[in-house]
Structure 1
Amino acid sequence: MEQIALKAEKRDISKKGTINELRRKGKLPGVLYGKNIESSPVAVDAKELLKVLKTHGESALINLELEGEKHPVLMKEIQRDTLKDAIVHVDFYRVSMTDRIEFNLPLVLKGDAEGVRMGGILQHQKRELSVKALPADMPEHLEVDISGLKIGDTLTVGDLKMDEKITVLDDPEEVVISILAPKLAEDTEVPTGEQAAEPEVVAKGKEKQEEE
């Protein structure tokens, strides 16, 4: 996985209103923590972080530069304000480049399934894998070629082609993609014949009662 550079600065947590002041300057508050380092409150440029998320996703391996020292980190937790649809805080977890770590690997579908072209319905049931690897061997995503799938076909975790450096932690029998058969046309057809005539019969019966 490519390591992305991101600059950080230490932030003062002793003063009130510091976080609001940071945000007015286009900065996002966060914390840097991990094995063999002390937890440090930090701030990063909001636009630069959003660029990383848009280009590389939440599983990106980042070289966080703080006071001249570079730390390989993952974004362990991203807190969002759901009302404003904005990021408000990020936890940066410092990893060891020699220790395997667990992370979520996004699945990206590639191609148009043959079964869908024939009228089938694609059901995407699993959108990421739980895997384990060294930080340097972490891919940003896994491409899944679905072009050969026909109606009735199912793709499981065990069917996915994975680099031998990566260990998949999910159940290999778990379904990732299914191509379902389309519903029968008669299920959606408008009733005809005797069924369509039923309302008329009821109306006549009511008319007869009124005459009596």
Structure 2
Amino acid sequence: MSEANITAELRNEFGKGASRRIRRDGKIPAVIYGHGEDPIHVTLPGHQTTMALRHMGTNAVLELAIDGKSQLALTKAIQVDPLKRLIEHIDFVAVRKGEKVHVDVPVHTTGDAAKETLVVLENATVQVEAEATHIPEGIEVDIEGAEAGTQILAGALTLPKGVSLLSDPELLVVHVTAAQTAAQAEAELAEAEAEAGIEHDAPQAEAEEAAAEE
């Protein structure tokens, strides 16, 4: 995974008021934890940081220039405004080149399963160990032609070189099932409604009730 070079400013103002002022200036407040050191509070350029994170995706590693020194920072948590969709705060973990980190990596399916099947991604991520600067953006699972009943476990995933699986090898990742027919769907709905105590009047009863009201 590539790194983005971003100049960060140290900050000594904290609290909601300070964060609001930072965001009004088009910047993003952030904090860097790790290696047994005190947290480092910084301010990042809003547009450059947002574009870097969008481009790099999950587990982005940014190379931050802080007070003349370079610091690699692994993205761990991003707080986003639910309405404006702007980044409000970022938590990073300090890392070093060559250092191994534990991260959750998304799983993606490729190809098309057999006809009349349904592909269920039972677990959208798996945990792996990888070098901080070589974290895979995702792990692909080929399901081309997979028949109903196919189950792909975490231990069967093909991982990039240098990446080790930490999740349980028996963890179910992808399950290919037979597609549900319309009749089966109606039967399940009727069963669920019966359990919930929902009753439907027969068409004739509805008509008689309507006539009586007239």
Q: TM-score, normalised by structure 2?
A: 0.78
Note if contact 2:58-2:105 (Cα within 8 Å) is conserved in structure 1: no
The aligned counterpart of 2:89 is 89
Query: Closer, same or farther in 2 for the Cα pair 1:30/1:108, shift >3 Å?
Result: same
Q: Does 1:145 align with 2:142?
A: yes
CA distance in structure 2 between the aligned counterparts of 1:10 and 1:54, rounded to whole angstroms? 24
Query: Closer, same or farther in 2 for the Cα pair 1:132/1:16, shift >3 Å?
Result: closer
Note if contact 1:12-1:18 (Cα within 8 Å) is conserved in structure 2: no
The aligned counterpart of 1:136 is 133
The aligned counterpart of 1:120 is 117
Deviations 1:110-153 (A, max 9, x none): 2222x2xx121111111111111221332122222221322221
The Cα of 1:170 is off from its aligned counterpart by 0.9
- Residue in structure 2 matching 1:158, options 155, 160, 177: 155
CA distance in structure 2 between the aligned counterparts of 1:183 and 1:108, rounded to whole angstroms? 23
Query: Closer, same or farther in 2 for the Cα pair 1:63/1:22, shift >3 Å?
Result: same
Deviations 1:142-200 (A, max 9, x none): 2222213222211111111113421111111111111111234543689xxxxxxx976
CA distance in structure 1 between the aligned counterparts of 2:185 and 2:123, rounded to whole angstroms? 30
AA aligned to 1:159 is A
Alignment RMSD (CA, Å): 2.8
The aligned counterpart of 1:65 is 65
Note if contact 1:97-1:135 (Cα within 8 Å) is conserved in structure 2: yes
Name which one, 1 or 2, has greater alpha-carbon Rg.
Answer: 1
> Structure 1 stretches (4+) deviating beyond 4 angstroms?
none
Note if contact 1:131-1:169 (Cα within 8 Å) is conserved in structure 2: yes
* Long gaps (5+) in structure 2: 188-201, 209-214
The Cα of 1:30 is off from its aligned counterpart by 0.8
Query: Closer, same or farther in 2 for the Cα pair 1:123/1:14, shift >3 Å?
Result: closer
The Cα of 1:10 is off from its aligned counterpart by 1.3
* Long gaps (5+) in structure 1: 191-197, 207-212
AA aligned to 2:184 is D
The aligned counterpart of 1:9 is 9
CA distance in structure 2 between the aligned counterparts of 1:15 and 1:156, rounded to whole angstroms? 45
CA distance in structure 1 between the aligned counterparts of 2:167 and 2:149, rounded to whole angstroms? 23
